[in-house]
């Protein structure tokens, strides 16, 4: 990270990415309780998230795939706008407005999950920088993201106590606006296949998926982990509320608890820095999937022990901190840059289908978490196969 360009690339990427991430993370602990405060029941809240996933599966996959043709920076700018619209919709208790807002959120999630990484990978490749520069940027991105989001948890707690559960959503809009302006001014535009029609990017993308099993296996492992993690994001609050052996008085200090999750994720980020120097990514990811499965098995084994459930969730967060930069490195190794966004969105489809199946079933919490454990164990087996290829 010694050259001026590599330092500039890192600072520009981190500032733009982190500003938007802060806005997105601010209300993360309050989605469920805000809607419950509007008098909306648990089943309807789950439906909101289903609309979010459907929006991500259909609209998000198409819109994010346009980034290869229309520009990755433009896609990141659009992400800021769409997230802002979702946060604005949360000021209403009207269920239809909230449904539309969650569809916007799904599209924003697709852009957030693909466009930022695709922009960074393309800038890195165009600049002929060493792979260690990319590893360092991904590592720092994960570490700094966890540091700033720990702070957002405490800020969200203070905002919610002073101004209500909606306050973190509204403050988040300000961060999206700042992120938009920064990216517009500081980021250069880059493309995948600019000089072709949009629909023609899908043909070579499908051909690559049919002929390259490593990309498919990497995508499936990612989809299984991500599906289980996002299901956890929806159900962690109900799981802690449902426990009868409580260590926290009601109302739960959700902002502080979320900060503890993020602190655990930060520990995972530091662990990644040590692991990547000693082992192949495919090797230690096998252990990470197993540990994540153990963490999510706790609410299945001891559903009434709030302390044990919380500890299991903290273990999951450590695994998440290791997983994020690890899977990004694997994608940089396997996925070609010119079709990166398109392929990454195709590979999100299994994740979204799995989430829809679990949530549409309206299963008891123990069944939901059991399905997550199975998904993580399957991801572990897939990574074992990938390691041998």
Q: Contact at 8 Å (CB) between 49 and 102?
A: yes
CA 346 – CA 337 distance, rounded (Å): 15
pLDDT at 186: 94
DSSP annotation of 251 reads S
Q: What are phi and psi of 187, to 5 degrees?
A: -90, 140
Q: What is the pLDDT of residue 61?
A: 66
pTM: 0.77
pLDDT of res. 2: 60
- Please return the burial class of 125, using the count of CB atoms within 10 Å of its CB with bins 0-12, 13-18 and 19+: middle
Identify the pLDDT of residue 227: 93
CA distances from 379 to 75, 125, 226, 261, 322 (A): 30, 29, 10, 22, 15
The pair phi, psi for residue 157, each rounded to 5°, is -60, -45
Could you give the CA distance from residue 149 to residue 227 in angstroms, rounded to a whole number? 21
Which is nearest to 260 in space by CA: 141, 153, 155? 153
- C-alpha to C-alpha distances, 325 to 4, 106, 117, 267, nearest whole angstrom: 23, 22, 11, 13
Residue 180, pLDDT score: 98
Per-residue pLDDT of the chain (389 residues; tens, 9 = 90+): 567 778 888 999 999 999 999 999 999 888 888 999 999 988 888 889 888 888 887 776 677 667 777 888 999 999 999 999 999 999 999 999 999 999 999 999 888 988 898 889 888 888 777 778 888 888 888 889 888 888 888 898 899 989 999 999 999 999 999 999 999 999 998 876 555 444 555 666 778 788 889 999 999 999 999 999 989 988 998 899 888 887 776 777 888 888 889 899 989 988 988 898 899 999 999 999 999 999 999 999 999 999 999 999 999 999 999 998 899 889 888 888 767 767 877 888 888 889 888 888 888 999 999 999 999 999 999 999 999 98
CATH number of the domain where residue 232 is located: 1.20.1250.20
Q: Which residues form the domain of 123?
A: 4-388
Question: At residue 252, what are phi and psi to the nearest 5 degrees?
Answer: -65, 140
Distance separating alpha carbons of residues 115 and 123, to the nearest angstrom: 12
Structure-block tokens of residue 235: 């159900």
Q: What is the DSSP letter of 179?
A: H
- The closest alpha carbon to 29, from 157, 203, 190, belongs to 157
> Total domain count for the chain?
1
3-state secondary structure at position 371: helix
Distance of alpha carbon 95 from alpha carbon 51, whole angstroms: 12
């Amino acid at each position: 990270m010694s050259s001026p360009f590599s330092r500039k690339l890192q600072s520009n990427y981190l500032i733009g990415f982190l500003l938007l991430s802060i806005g997105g993370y601010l209300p993360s602990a309050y989605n469920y309780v805000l809607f419950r405060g509007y008098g909306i029941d648990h089943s309807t809240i789950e439906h909101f998230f289903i609309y979010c996933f459907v929006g991500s599966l259909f609209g998000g996959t198409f819109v994010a795939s346009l980034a290869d043709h229309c520009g990755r920076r433009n896609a990141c700018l659009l992400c800021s706008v769409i997230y802002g619209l979702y946060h604005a919709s949360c000021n209403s208790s009207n269920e239809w407005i909230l449904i539309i807002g969650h569809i916007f959120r799904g599209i924003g999630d697709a852009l957030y999950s693909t466009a930022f990484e695709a922009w960074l990978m393309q800038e890195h490749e165009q600049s002929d920088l060493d792979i260690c520069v990319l590893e360092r940027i991904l590592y720092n991105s994960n570490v700094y993201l966890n540091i700033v989001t720990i702070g957002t948890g405490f800020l969200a707690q203070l905002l919610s106590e002073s101004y209500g559960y909606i306050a973190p959503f509204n403050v988040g809009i300000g961060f999206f606006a700042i992120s938009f302006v920064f990216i517009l001014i500081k980021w250069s535009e880059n493309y995948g296949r600019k000089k072709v029609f949009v629909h023609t990017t899908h043909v070579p993308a499908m051909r690559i998926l049919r002929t390259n099993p490593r990309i498919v296996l990497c995508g499936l492992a990612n989809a299984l982990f991500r599906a289980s993690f996002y299901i956890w994001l929806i159900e962690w609050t109900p799981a802690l509320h449902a426990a009868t052996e409580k260590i926290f008085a009601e109302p739960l200090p959700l902002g502080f608890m979320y900060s503890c999750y993020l602190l655990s994720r930060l520990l995972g980020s530091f662990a990644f820095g040590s692991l990547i120097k000693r082992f192949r990514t495919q090797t230690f990811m096998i252990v990470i999937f197993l540990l994540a499965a153990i963490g999510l098995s706790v609410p299945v084994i001891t559903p009434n022990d709030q302390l044990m459930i919380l500890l299991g969730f903290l273990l999951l967060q450590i695994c998440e901190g290791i997983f994020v930069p690890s899977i990004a490195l694997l994608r940089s190794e396997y996925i070609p840059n010119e079709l990166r966004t398109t392929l990454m969105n195709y590979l999100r489809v299994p994740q979204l289908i799995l989430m829809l199946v679990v949530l549409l079933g309206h299963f008891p919490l123990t069944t939901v978490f059991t399905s997550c454990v199975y998904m993580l164990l399957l991801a572990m087996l897939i990574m074992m196969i990938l390691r041998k290829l």
